[in-house]
Amino acid sequence: MCIPLDRRTQILLDEHRYRLLEERARRGGTSVAAVIRSAIDRELDQDPDRTARAVASFLDAPPVDAGSWREIEADVEAGYERK
């Protein structure tokens, strides 16, 4: 769906934030403006299909073999001991 873009706004950013935006845009193969619009949509919860996509992604993920309960428990205990 292509939503017409008919409003322009200007924001001032520090160099660090802008570099983070550029990097995210580069990794996503998109523009800085598209990254900003996406962040606005997330903040304003304007993406009604987001939850459905997240659930579908989770359900489509391959199963993870986490081992037996005893192995999981041993891993958790080992984590506590390292702290």
> pLDDT by residue for the chain (83 residues), tens digit each?
577 889 999 999 999 999 999 999 999 999 999 999 989 988 887 776 777 888 888 899 888 888 888 988 998 899 888 76
Give the CB-side neighbour count of residue 42, counting CA atoms within 13 A: 6
Q: What is the pTM of this model?
A: 0.53
Residue carrying structure tokens 């935006």 = 21
Distance separating alpha carbons of residues 52 and 15, to the nearest angstrom:
35
pLDDT score of 83: 66
Distance separating alpha carbons of residues 31 and 24, to the nearest angstrom:
9
